[in-house]
Structure 1
Amino acid sequence: MWSFMKEAIIEAAVDSVKLVPFLFVTYLVMGALERAAGRHARAVIQEAGKVGPIWGGLLGAIPQCGFSAAATYFYVGKVVTLGTLISIYLSTSDEMLPIFISEKVPVGTIVSIMAAKVIIGVISGYAVEFFFGWLARRRRVPKGYDGESGPGCGCGCGTGLFIESVQKTLQVFAFILLVSIVIGCAIEAVGHQAISGLFQDLPVAGELIAALVGLIPNCAASVVITQMYLEGVIGAGPMMSGLLCSAGVGLLVLIRENHHWKQDGMVIGILYVVSVFWGVVIEVLGISF
């Protein structure tokens, strides 16, 4: 038993260490792009109005540290609608993109998944607007308000680009290592088929579980979902449910800043139900990426 676990731990450690240079370069490039486009993206969201869900879906897909948090501040300040917020949450990639790039996933696969998240975000955003009305209606934006007030995204956004990239690389490396060890040990102990069966044999169960993991308000959620997908433990349906639900620290900011537990519960509930729904649709249709 110990020999199997030791082998799984060593394999996970070696594979994870190999990703570090790729993760660092990816975060360095993404950080530079974020600094160039981040403030402009927030300005676009501020003025989006009724096309908010479209801009939310498109801009949410851009890897931007704390964008979901900024969008949440806009929602709390009644600058954007509920549909726009949901659209941003659904399309946000969080740590999916850097992990995919580091693992050398084909570009076509990455683009397909991100495009699906954007399309789902836009459609779902307008569906929420239709069924729930224009909650958190736009009002005059307070002078100087940029969605960056409050405790921040908590991921080193205020530090220099190099330091921030190092911090994110080490953080995600630690999550990947931990998740890989757990998955590896589980597979060695009970078998890959048995683990996969937990998500695939019971209808909708995989999507329900993956979406719950995605609700964790931390980048660990998207790391777990992405790694499980890459390891072949879950299929496209559960993967999409988990990643759609993975809104990063946005949900944490919502709970901390909104102070309306019924409204917060409604937002989280909508995000969860929509994420599970689309995951099931993808699974039923047999869509693969």
Structure 2
Amino acid sequence: MTAVLSTAQDAFFDVLKTVPLLLLVYALLYYIENRLTDTPALLSRTAQFGPAVGALAGSIPQCGFSAAASALFSAGYLAPATLVAVFLATSDEAVPVMLAGGASAKSILALLVVKFVLAALGGYLLRCTVFRRREVKLDEPLEIELNACGCGEPLPNILGHTLKTSLFLFAVLLALDLVLLAVGEDRLASVLLGGSIFQPLLCAVLGLVPSCAMSVLLSELYVSGTISFGALVAGLSTGAGFGYIVLLGEKQGRRRAAPVILATFILAAVGGTVTQLLFG
């Protein structure tokens, strides 16, 4: 019972850390949808920088950026290739956990650089291929759905949307953390095929579990020598944390979620495998 209460408390504080960023994002969405008239032209002019900017934003070690990016994507203000770039670059809690575990600054820097390169290159590759028809045409007006926050009074609208998303995050995160508690980290580590070329693929699957706890677990497994650097890259590249929960929780984003998640997984698994072959 104590373990369950502790897990619920951890989930609550994980979500609480994300609330300020969600408030900021939904306030921004409300302002864009109800105050700005030249947003489509502005977005069309800046669309070409999407994946690189997304990769840079995702590289910031903060658990809430993937959730913010998913909210913007659901509202139509972020292209799918850019969202994938954010997901691939995100490392959630990995950096502080690795620092606390004694990992060298060199290995942490290498992790951030590899993930940024994977995110930027992967984003532009998707933009030119899979998501080509879904990307913004720079010479055409941008059409977007302006219905994420809607009209009405701003404060109740923003607070209501933030509360709804936060409650959804907490419910899903608590359920996932309880499952992880029941399975046990030791048992999970034993099935990750240490030293195998398939380890990045397995870690990429593990990273799909939408919880910031995954970044902590993967970082601890790497510091302890259980998984390789390539496997860490793969797991953290799919480990978009709250991003998946928000993406699947928003009606507008849910319809387009599968291609984004699948593209993230494939690029993460391939990138992690290549990294393991090159660097271990």
1:106 partner letter: S
**C-alpha distance in 2 between matches for 1:114 and 1:74:** 24
Give CA-to-partner distance per residue, 1:21-75, whole Å, 9 cap, x none. xxxxxx9xxx8xx98xx87xx89xx954210111101111112342111111111
Give CA-to-partner distance per residue, 1:125-156, whole Å, 9 cap, x none. 101101121526454695997xx745345699
**C-alpha distance in 2 between matches for 1:95 and 1:111:** 15
Give CA-to-partner distance per residue, 1:222-259, whole Å, 9 cap, x none. 11211111111111121111010000110111111145
TM-score normalized with structure 2 length: 0.67
Equivalent residue runs for 1:80-91 within 5 Å: 80-91=78-89
Query: SS at the partner of 2:76?
Result: coil
Q: Report what 2:232 is aligned to.
A: 239
- 1:199, 1:234 within 8 Å by CA — same for their partners in 2? yes
1:85 partner letter: L
Q: Which consecutive unaligned segments of at least 5 residues does structure 1 have? A: 1-26, 157-170
Equivalent residue runs for 1:99-114 within 5 Å: 99-114=97-112
Give CA-to-partner distance per residue, 1:157-176, whole Å, 9 cap, x none. xxxxxxxxxxxxxx9xx99x
Q: How many residues align?
A: 227
TM-score normalized with structure 1 length: 0.65
Q: Report what 1:206 is aligned to.
A: 199
- 1:217, 1:248 within 8 Å by CA — same for their partners in 2? yes
Equivalent residue runs for 1:125-164 within 5 Å: 125-132=123-130, 133-135=132-134, 137=136, 139=143, 149-150=161-162, 151-152=164-165
Q: Once the two structures are aligned, what percentage of the paired residues are identical?
A: 25
Q: 2:276 aligns with which of 279, 283, 286?
A: 283
Q: 2:266 aligns with which of 258, 273, 287?
A: 273
- 2:81, 2:127 within 8 Å by CA — same for their partners in 1? yes
1:182 to partner: Cα distance: 3.7
Equivalent residue runs for 1:1-289 within 5 Å: 47=43, 48-132=46-130, 133-135=132-134, 137=136, 139=143, 149-150=161-162, 151-152=164-165, 182-183=185-186, 195=190, 198-201=193-196, 203=197, 205-258=198-251, 263-285=256-278, 287-288=279-280
| Structure 1 residues 63 and 152: alpha-carbon distance in aligned structure 2, compared to 1, 3 A threshold | farther
| Structure 1 residues 144 and 85: alpha-carbon distance in aligned structure 2, compared to 1, 3 A threshold | closer
Q: Which consecutive unaligned segments of at least 5 residues does structure 2 have? A: 1-13, 30-41, 137-141, 150-157
